[in-house]
Amino acid sequence: MVETLKTEKLEQLRQLLDQFGLPSSDVETAEWFKLLGINDAGRLVSAAGLEHCDGSLLLRSVVTDPAFQGKGMAAEIVSTLNLAAKKTGYEEIWMLTIDADRYFSHHHDFHVVTRSDAPEGIRCSAQFRGLCPADAILMRRRLN
């Protein structure tokens, strides 16, 4: 069951992100719009969040423990985040990825855009400025 991630789960999130080489240094300081996860026997096994970036939303920290991959957990979380953003009036979500562009394009209707298309809030985010490599692929999903 998808639930809001509590502060005490942030260390488990960091460990999952580190396992996949995903940015984790700002997990506790990010301005989260919503941070969701799925637990199994009290252990975080899948998570994703939307970070506020000066009026824009950045999808990040999409991760699933290898033992639980292929069960649709990340897809359920991302869909829940998309719905929450739409209900709150957001019109689009942005993301950066190194190698998941096909997955997000095929399963979540994200489209590759040029980095120059990013709004100021996304360009000022820690992810865009350096936590993600400069060659990370920028993607956008329109919610309307």
pLDDT for residue 60 is more than 90: yes
pLDDT for residue 144 is more than 90: no
Over pLDDT 70: what percentage of the chain?
A: 100
* Rounded mean pLDDT, 106-127: 95
Which amino acid is present at 10?
L
pTM beyond cutoff 0.85: yes
pLDDT for residue 56 is more than 90: yes
pLDDT for residue 128 is more than 90: yes
Q: Phi and psi at residue 96, in whole multiples of 5°?
A: -120, 140
Q: What is the pLDDT of residues 2-35, one digit of tens each?
A: 999 999 999 999 999 999 999 999 999 999 999 9
pLDDT for residue 131 is more than 90: no
Provide the CATH topology of domain 3-142.
Aminopeptidase (3.40.630)
> What is the residue-averaged pLDDT of the chain?
95
Listed by start position, the domains of the chain span: 3-142
Which amino acid is present at 119?
P
* Rounded mean pLDDT, 80-105: 95
